[in-house]
Amino acid sequence: MHKRAFPISTIINLTANIMIAAPYTLIMNRRDFIQSASKWLLALAGAGFGHTMAGMKTVAESSRAADSSVTWFLCGDVMTGRGIDQVLPHPGNPLIHESYMKSALGYVTIAEKVSGPITRPVDLDYIWGDALDELDRRNPDLRIINLETSVTTSDDFWPRKGINYRMHPNNTPTISAAGIDCCVLANNHVLDWGYSGLEETLNTLHDAGLQTVGAGLDLEQAQMPAIFGLGEKGRVIVISLASETSGVPPTWAARYDRAGVNFIADISPSTVRRITDQVEAMKQQGDIVVVSIHWGSNWGYQVPDEQREFAHRLIDEASVDVIHGHSSHHPRGIEVYRNKPIIYGCGDFINDYEGIRGHESYRGDLSLMYFLEINPADGGLISLEMVPHQIRKFSLNRASKQDTTWLKNTLHRESQEFNTRVKLTKNDVLALGWQ
């Protein structure tokens, strides 16, 4: 069994959050506190490696001040419900309402048939596996995930939804174990167990010191960005959006008098204008704005023209610096537009799909950790590196050389239409190059 103590950074994170009085406070200035309090506890590694490609960028010039850049970890869908919940220390009611599966334990059985027995219960940090070492080594300023699971004991499942994900609230420390700062909730599973399930999800995550964005008890809360103060590095503003194209029911849209997600009916110029107004009302000099959007199909590499146009308009008109796209179960191509990164689809990061047949050619078992380095002076991309992992027994394991090469070749192929390239470094890390 994978055993690991909680990272010191996580303990400090949780301690710092005791100082946050209101559970729905989204303005955070705790980073300075964390960094100063932990100087004597954490040995920060500052070594970096530059990679060059003819006519391409992978890192900025050597003259840049590394300590002034903003670094963070992004990933796609983190799905800790259903089968994964059942192997954690506090499994919830396994009853689910799928046409082909009535117990979440069935997904454990399917995974074990492929990979062997999973010793239960696993440790709370088990699912992160080798990714924890990478997070500890890089120690990013900010850690953002798309949490695609309702954290609740509610039995009020959404009818005709098809698939209903939930994790028992007592298993929430499994999210905290990776030092996560922000859980994006504008997705197609956060309301799987009704409005009561959403309310419990919000309360549980906030009580654990985890900030959320993209869902709320009314429209104002759902649209509220998460703002993270990083001291002299400025602030990072996170806006979370949900599109019907990803399977989010329009009835999940938050209203002034109803809970729900920050739903966008389309990706039209009018939607861009609304986001532009929101950004202009809050963005200050040195702020970095991230739009995290759940959109598009689960499978396939094609990026629709309207998605690309929408992303470009967000950068051109709304002064957005990073597009964090997710919904696809596998990574899609990456674009750098006006020196701003657009990740059209991060792919799943953690799920319970192990052993499920279909779509094998997309290698949904392979996951990527995205590490971005951004210049706060102009919001421009300095570097983007991706660390490949494979999901086995519901835990992240560093991918083999063969699988890493497959991911490199696939992402390189799919990124060429965006004039970006993917290189395999000597450390088996994927580095993005752009013109």
Q: What does 273-305 look like in DSSP terms, one character per residue?
A: HHHHHHHHHH--TT-EEEEEEE-S-SS-----H
Q: What is the pTM of this model?
A: 0.86
Q: List CB contacts of 245: < 8 A, sequence separation 6 or more.
A: 295, 296, 297, 327
- β-pairing, 215-216 vs 260-261, is antiparallel
Nearest to 232 by CA among 59, 12, 36: 36
Whether the Cβ atoms of residue 325 and residue 335 lie closer than 8 Å to each other: no
Phi/psi of residue 80, nearest 5 degrees: -95, 5
Q: What is the DSSP letter of 352?
A: S
pLDDT in tens, 203-255: 999 999 999 999 999 999 999 999 999 999 999 999 999 999 999 999 999 99
Whether the Cβ atoms of residue 26 and residue 225 lie closer than 8 Å to each other: yes
Q: What is the structure's pLDDT at 24?
A: 35
Domain map of the chain by residue range? Answer: 65-434
Q: What is the structure's pLDDT at 162?
A: 87
pLDDT in tens, 146-156: 999 999 999 99
Q: What is the CATH number of domain 65-434?
A: 3.60.21.10
Give the span between the Cα atoms of 150 and 153, in whole angstroms: 9
Whether the Cβ atoms of residue 138 and residue 187 lie closer than 8 Å to each other: no
pLDDT in tens, 162-199: 899 999 999 999 999 999 999 999 999 999 999 999 99
Give the span between the Cα atoms of 9 and 33, in whole angstroms: 12
Which of the residues in the chain have pLDDT under 50?
A: 1-55, 59-65
Whether the Cβ atoms of residue 143 and residue 179 lie closer than 8 Å to each other: yes
Q: Token match 């098809």: residue?
A: 162
Which two three-digit tokens encode residue 27? 């303005």
Nearest to 397 by CA among 427, 425, 367, 370: 367
Q: What is the structure's pLDDT at 155?
A: 95
* Rounded percentage of the chain residues whose pLDDT exceeds 70: 85
Q: What is the structure's pLDDT at 31?
A: 37
